[in-house]
Structure 1
Amino acid sequence: MATMGPAVADLDAVRGLVQAGMDVARLNFSHGDHESHVRMIKWIRQAAAEVGRSIAILQDIQGPKTRVGHFRDGSVDLPQGATVRLAATGDEGGPDLIPVDYPRLLEDVPTGARVVMADGLIEGRVTGSDGGGLTVLLERGGELLDRKGIAFPDSDLELGPVTEKDRVDLELGRQMGIDYVAASFVKRGEDISQVRELAGGSTPVIAKVELALAYQNLDSILDQADGVMVARGDLGVELPLETIPNIQADILHRTNQAGLISITATEMLESMVTALRPSRAEVTDVANAVASGTDAVMLSAETAVGRHPARVVEAMSSICVEAERYRDQQMTGADAIDFLESTMTFASATAKAATEAARNLGFRTIVAFTESGGTARLLSKYRPSADIMVFAPSGRIRRRMALFWGVTPIRFEPRASTDLMFAAAEKYLEKEGVCERGEGVVMIAGTPPNTQAKTNLVKLHVIGERLRASWRAGNRGRP
């Protein structure tokens, strides 16, 4: 997943990212205007069509972030050990007064609570109040710029899940056919419902876990969201940095157990904003995220404002490929992810059976057919060692599947029967060199075809056997 920005300033640059291996384009709605976002969406769609790939677009809304106000010179120096006053005022700030755009400071932030500013650069603790504001003793000082973020990790602020800006942005996303929405600063599961409704009801919502309260309420978030992003930047401000690796592993594990999409983000290849090669520590960070079961890894400033975005995507892709190769070598059937075993369904049982059959028989390919993308998501979560080739008629569903681990989405015209579907897929696999004649594959589908029927059919098939007649009889177009 790559974040769009000033470094990706034209169609050629976008095409370069698609060719380099980008699967999902992230649009950060904390920056830019609607005109620039619409232009970028059109470039992404055009580049994907030219290259012949399904690329998902994720709209990352700004969310309800609390910020400081303005200072006389655009910034203020706050030394360690100083005492400052926080007040919900529009007045200009200075060394003794920090204006904050949250009106309920006195009601919601208790004495003893931590205050963190400027992405963790400045930290203090509330020592009291004077009726008009909070008194804060600074434990770590620094320069505070206009409109920087301010967080209260120990306090539950009364902020709704979406702002008026978010509402306007989500409406644009609906009009442009955005594939995913990432909800920022969610605190609990019910926050997801409001975002989902504003996003159009059917658009998948990814919950960004970036608040300590969100981590505490992870179970309720997993009940409502379609996926989770481990947003390590703000999470590392809210919680001690040394706890973040274990928290990341826990979030990824629980998200995978729930059968949802998992994304790891923030500073993964940060040095490549300027450097041509990642650091050894960054390579290890990406590989460890893969080993922990993340579905996707995300680039932020590296592609948005970096010097060579396509090179960063290539580096990230090569690290992931090698990490997955090693993982496949080490993994046995017992290592496969087991999720939702207590509520096994037709679809999950079929996906698990297909995964185990491919592994036990040494098949390189699993073929699936889907109307909604559900079959592909389930296969993805079982982490088969085989390639997952998913045939789907809907362009939007194919784009969404770009965020599924290990899935290759393929355009497919509906067929009247499962035999004709299998025959068409077989022809595609042979033509594209995915499989050879005589090679075994696992095919799964729902019956009856061309409906959102339960995935209830598993077929072990040898390429070239018996389906030829069905293909000749039913050939009405290319996959």
Structure 2
Amino acid sequence: MFRHTKIVATIGPATASQEGIRGLIRAGMNVARMNFSHGDHETHRKVCSWVREESEKEGTPVGVLQDIQGPKLRVGEFLGGAVHLERGSRVRLVPDNVVGTDELIPVVYEPLLTDIEVGDRVVLSDGLLRLTVTDTNQDHLEADVILGGELGDHKGVAFPDSDLTASSLTEQDLADLEFGKELEVDYVGASFVRSGKDVEQVRDLAGGVPVIAKIELAAAYENLDDILEVAAGVMVARGDLGVQLPLERIPLIQNDILSRGNAAGRLTITATEMLESMTSSPRPTRAEVTDVATAVMGGTDAVMLSAETAVGQFPNRTVEVMGRICQAVEDDVLHKPDRRLPFFGARDKKASAVAQAAAETTARLDIDTIVAFTESGNTAFLISKYRPLAKVVAFSPIHATLNRMALYWGVQPFYLDRFDFTDHMIAAGEEFVETEGLAERGDAIVIVAGVPPNQQASTNLVMVQYIGERDQGIDAHLMGALPGEQNDDA
């Protein structure tokens, strides 16, 4: 059974080995996430190398996502490692590197005194503690404790009501992005972005690598349309988003981000605590199963595992369970007449028309397989955004393209050499599909290609062909070709 929704798995101590990565690939991982909030460059270099090596051995393209830390705000250190804040008490917040107490909280953020205003909320330790600023002074802020509890060293701090002026990139992020270019990662996850300008900055520093903007700040959600203009995709980062915005609104916000991301023709990833209990349990909770299913029904391209595969006791089993949940939901959702996402097509109208024609043809003729030939991967991506019931077998002679396509919903990427003639290219692809059991002799397939081949911006052909009729050439079952003017697609 074929799974359309892709799985992103975070590599950590539990899986950071060749054997661990091999197990994840065999369990169904499509993209390996390297979390640059942890580990050093040498560790990440090894992980990336192992992913490439094991991917090649398994004959399965696997993408690599570099997730940079971004300006995660944290408190400093406390006397004894932690303090208890009593509800109703008053505390001082300072931007100094001092040892904190239950009355004095050091915050590692230099513009603290200029960016935060009276009435602004302060959220600590992933939402477990909450303060409200009552006064601003020359050297500190005063705040009342609204929700008390224990606050430990280096816990996160957020200011959901404040317009923060600090850069969205730290010095460490800049070094990590340079390192990512050296590793030739396939995607970069941009943390704590607030606007499209932030995303553009990351993209430029990453050397043009596709950027997945993590929507985890209230400002990012407010500027979602602006971000969608420049990002390759968006990630619903529900952990920090749940700190910034009312928790009860997160399911609605998740659906909204997925809907708008898909409508804009962008990749969508749903993340955070999806199967969290499987970090220590071999079975997920019913609520977690429903959570994954809701994301799939909402149209997400991929679902992501974090601690479950980074430090969990059952990483491979967790990937397998997530895959089964996705498949079960897809079997129901994909057969509904209203399954199509509200994707209105790319700016490149011709490429979008070709992709839509391929998807519609499989639906009308009850065809199970689309075969796409692509240089950049854009053809396969556009087809996937029309959510065909058929699987999309995408061929490319470029390994980087194959790795990127590993994240595309419903797309199975395979390597195929370049050919001088479209006829020969199609014949080779058809033979591969039959040999690998992706379709049987006599089956109808929809082919999407370019005439002439091996050129970006040349996809202009949609045709139906039957396995085993290669000798008749591309004119045998021509459905449509857009002559003359080229697309911006490949």
TM-score normalised by the shorter chain: which range applies?
over 0.9
The aligned counterpart of 2:483 is none
The structure 1 residue matched to 2:93, chosen from 71, 86, 95, is 86
Q: Does 1:65 align with 2:69?
A: no
The structure 1 residue matched to 2:340, chosen from 336, 340, 351, is 336
Q: Taking structure 1 as the reference length, what is the TM-score of the superposition?
A: 0.96
Report the AA paired with residue 10 of structure 1: S
Q: Does 1:414 align with 2:421?
A: no
Task: Report the secondary structure of 1:208's partner residue.
Answer: strand
CA 1:312–1:342: 2 relative to 1, 3 Å? closer
The aligned counterpart of 2:107 is 100
CA 1:469–1:349: 2 relative to 1, 3 Å? closer
The aligned counterpart of 1:143 is 150
The structure 2 residue matched to 1:183, chosen from 182, 190, 215, is 190
Q: Does 1:165 align with 2:178?
A: no
The aligned counterpart of 2:227 is 221
Q: Please list the CA deviations of residues 275-320 of structure 1 after superposition, one character each: whole Å capped at 9, or x if unmatched.
A: 1111111111101100100000000000001001001001011111
Range with greater deviation from structure 2 (154-163 or 228-237): 154-163
Report the AA paired with residue 131 of structure 1: Q
Post-superposition shift, 1:374?
0.5
The aligned counterpart of 2:467 is 463
The structure 1 residue matched to 2:357, chosen from 333, 345, 353, is 353
The aligned counterpart of 1:386 is 390
Report the AA paired with residue 124 of structure 1: L
The structure 1 residue matched to 2:312, chosen from 302, 306, 325, is 306
Q: Please list the CA deviations of residues 134-193 of structure 1 after superposition, one character each: whole Å capped at 9, or x if unmatched.
A: 111011111111111110000011121211000111111100111100000000000011
Q: Please list the CA deviations of residues 320-358 of structure 1 after superposition, one character each: whole Å capped at 9, or x if unmatched.
A: 11111111222x2x5422423584611100000100000
Post-superposition shift, 1:468?
6.8
The aligned counterpart of 2:367 is 363
State the alpha-carbon separation in 1 of the partners of residues 372 and 439 from structure 2. Answer: 15
The aligned counterpart of 2:432 is 428
The aligned counterpart of 2:457 is 453
Q: Does 1:152 align with 2:152?
A: no
State the alpha-carbon separation in 2 of the partners of residues 354 and 280 from structure 1. Answer: 37
State the alpha-carbon separation in 2 of the partners of residues 29 and 249 from structure 1. Answer: 28
The aligned counterpart of 1:269 is 275
The structure 2 residue matched to 1:398, chosen from 397, 402, 411, is 402
State the alpha-carbon separation in 1 of the partners of residues 137 and 204 from structure 2. Answer: 41
Contact 2:265 2:345 in 1 (8 A): no
CA 1:66–1:271: 2 relative to 1, 3 Å? same
Post-superposition shift, 1:71?
1.1
State the alpha-carbon separation in 2 of the partners of residues 318 and 380 from structure 1. Answer: 20
State the alpha-carbon separation in 1 of the partners of residues 335 and 340 from structure 2. Answer: 13
Range with greater deviation from structure 2 (63-72 or 368-377): 63-72
Q: Taking structure 2 as the reference length, what is the TM-score of the superposition?
A: 0.93
CA root-mean-square deviation: 1.3
The aligned counterpart of 2:246 is 240
Post-superposition shift, 1:51?
1.1
The aligned counterpart of 1:439 is 443
Report the AA paired with residue 296 of structure 2: V
Contact 2:447 2:464 in 1 (8 A): yes
Contact 1:365 1:389 in 2 (8 A): yes
The aligned counterpart of 1:326 is 332
Task: Report the secondary structure of 2:73's partner residue.
Answer: coil
Post-superposition shift, 1:421?
1.2
Q: Does 1:35 align with 2:42?
A: yes
Contact 1:419 1:467 in 2 (8 A): no
Report the AA paired with residue 151 of structure 1: A
The structure 2 residue matched to 1:260, chosen from 252, 260, 266, is 266
Report the AA paired with residue 231 of structure 1: A
Gaps of 5+ in 1: 471-479
Report the AA paired with residue 10 of structure 2: T
Post-superposition shift, 1:130?
2.8
Gaps of 5+ in 2: 1-7, 475-490
The aligned counterpart of 2:5 is none
Contact 1:64 1:185 in 2 (8 A): yes
State the alpha-carbon separation in 2 of the partners of residues 469 and 234 from structure 1. Answer: 55
Post-superposition shift, 1:39?
1.1
Aligned residues: 467
Q: Does 1:280 align with 2:250?
A: no
Task: Report the secondary structure of 1:403's partner residue.
Answer: coil
The aligned counterpart of 1:122 is 129
The aligned counterpart of 1:212 is 218
Report the AA paired with residue 92 of structure 1: V
Report the AA paired with residue 214 of structure 1: A
Report the AA paired with residue 287 of structure 2: A
Report the AA paired with residue 270 of structure 2: T
Task: Report the secondary structure of 1:391's partner residue.
Answer: strand
